[in-house]
Amino acid sequence: MASMSVDSLALGRTSPAGALTPVHDAAKAHGWWRSAVIYQIYPRSFRDLNGDGVGDLAGITRELPELAKLGVDAIWLSPFYRSPQRDAGYDVSDYCQVDPLFGSLADFDAMLAEANRLNLRVIADLVPNHCSSDHVAFQAALAAAPGGPERDMFIFRDGRGPEGAEPPNNWQSHFGGPAWTRITEPGGRPGQWYLHLFDSSQPDFNWDNPEVHAEFERVLRFWLDRGISGFRVDVAHALVKAPGLPDWGGRADGNSAPGFPGREAPMFGQAALHDVYRRWREILEEYGPGRILCAEANVDPLPRLAKWVMPDQMHQAFNFPFLHAGLDLPKLRAVITDSLTALDAVGAPSTWVLSNHDVVRHASRFGYDGPGPRDGDGISPLDPQPDAELGRRRAAAATLFMLGLPGGAYLYQGEELGLPDGVDIPAGLRADPTFTRTCGERIGRDGCRVPLPWRAAEPNSGFGSGTGPWLPQPDCWPELARDAQEADPASHLTLYRNALALRRKHALGQGSLAWAEDYCTGSSLAYLNGDTLVILNLGSGPLELPAGDVLLRTSGAIGTDPLGSGEAIWLAIG
């Protein structure tokens, strides 16, 4: 029999919400992370307490009560380790030290203690695919002879062609340009090449070498011993490369392209990776329950992603297909159905996400009617600009739609304020290597990394006094500052707080999902989670609502007045 989706099998159940198509039952399994809302902190842009223009750990400690008030369960911190900051800390030169830019280990411990006091768990960012070229192991590899154990920590190869002057294969860097750089051997002659899937300052480790495994097990234990609740694992799908490093004509980011399905990319999703994560899971479990691994794994299709979150491997994997579906309602419905179906088959929750430090903020992405910016490419001042009001309205609706879904969710700092991307950033201040490696052709990810506005009346909107922030803040920052939204019942911040409180109260994260067909009209999408009906209306006209108690809606409209265009609602029915 041809395989049928849950959608096509289980038609016709009815409820006060009309015809239902069930997809997912309420969760029976336990684990805080299965329904948690985790808030991503990008330390350099969160809060600057020492006034040097860059955020720091002490700044995070200072503002943690605000995150507890927001109602999140945990925070994930992007890298704060020692690093020359050529890729904003994703180029680590010492995995067990805090970069002086952000503070010290004592500052980290103080931050963790304050988080514990506020019942917030802390997740660190582990960067195992590559380190910084300043890392002592890479410096030793450069100083050593070819073929020795120092070089074997990384992926060094002789070049192709006469004099080995061509790169060993045709792989491209995610940030543009070739993924290989040639070194000068200690004797002064042009020598071997090393692989870097990202910037040339980020050499890839050789995960065929047991020494690399041992080193990362030490790093895991170092941070677990300090008391963290787990790790978000950076480019978790890239560590192991296919034997022989064959050429690849597909996309550098591993996504499928015509003729080049992502599953065949020789640098992504290799089977041996799963053994690495099984071992890490064992290590986490030595520290007791509740420690988690979350994969940043760009693998498609969804059933393949589900393999990452089998019970003996990772706990979570970001649902990037959901992020990429944007506001395309048929796509969104298919991704949600397919995600819940594929993940249910392995007993894992879905991990929803709309924004992070690598993509244009969803308040800007949704401000376009036509195609918006390509992922990771940012918005240049010369590009068509998003409609700020439309973007913010739809972002609120999309967030409410996401937070009603069963599973876990990640929020990116500043989305609770409805922040757009920063656009007017002078070339000289742009820090993303994508910008420099493509000679400005791709503007890069700086726009979503602009330092946060905390207090409207303070210098730099309260990000920090002293030196101006490392990226300029847009003119609208004071009016979007946290304190300006604090007491406003119609603000974005109030909506997020209410949504998180109600999500907890109604246990939506542990809940079920059935499509509410009467409200899936082509320009609207609706599902029932327990007794909560969630509707997103993107049509140009209003949508009539069934009887029910309004829990929350994204506009100031009263009661069950029809749902306006670009609006979402949570309605208790039943």
Contact residues toward ligand GLC (CB under 6 A) are: 87, 90, 127, 198, 234-235, 296, 357-358
What's the gap between Cα 288 and its chain centre? 26
Distance CA 301, CA 308 (A): 12
- Please, what is the minimum distance in Å from the beta carbon of residue 352 to ligand GLC? 17
Contact 472, 450 (CB under 8 A): yes
Count Cβ atoms below 10 Å from residue 558 Cβ, excluding itself: 8
Distance CA 138, CA 84 (A): 14
Nearest residue (CB) to ligand GLC, 127 versus 563:
127
- Please, what is the minimum distance in Å from the beta carbon of residue 376 to ligand GLC? 9
- Please, what is the minimum distance in Å from the beta carbon of residue 33 to ligand GLC? 19
Residue 329 in tokens: 């309602």
Distance CA 410, CA 406 (A): 13
- Among candidate residues 114, 234, 296, 377, the one labeled active-site is 234
Distance CA 33, CA 316 (A): 8
Residue 32 in tokens: 């805080």
- Please, what is the minimum distance in Å from the beta carbon of residue 89 to ligand GLC? 9
DSSP element (H, E) containing 39: strand 37-41
Count Cβ atoms below 10 Å from residue 259 Cβ, excluding itself: 8
Distance CA 198, CA 175 (A): 6
Q: Is 286 designated active site?
A: yes
Nearest residue (CB) to ligand GLC, 99 versus 296:
296
For residue 351, the one-letter residue type is T
Nearest residue (CB) to ligand GLC, 20 versus 238:
238
Count Cβ atoms below 10 Å from residue 426 Cβ, excluding itself: 9
Nearest residue (CB) to ligand GLC, 208 versus 358:
358
Q: Is 234 designated active site?
A: yes
User: Which residue's CB atom is positioned nearest to ligand GLC?
Assistant: 90
Q: Are strands 549-553 and 532-537 parallel, antiparallel or unpaired?
A: unpaired
Helix ranges restricted to H, 289-380: 302-306, 320-325, 329-344, 362-365
- Please, what is the minimum distance in Å from the beta carbon of residue 410 to ligand GLC? 12
Distance CA 389, CA 163 (A): 58
∠ Cα 571 363 454 (to 5°): 100
Nearest residue (CB) to ligand GLC, 357 versus 492:
357
- Please, what is the minimum distance in Å from the beta carbon of residue 177 to ligand GLC? 15
Nearest residue (CB) to ligand GLC, 127 versus 295:
127
Residues designated as active site: 234, 286
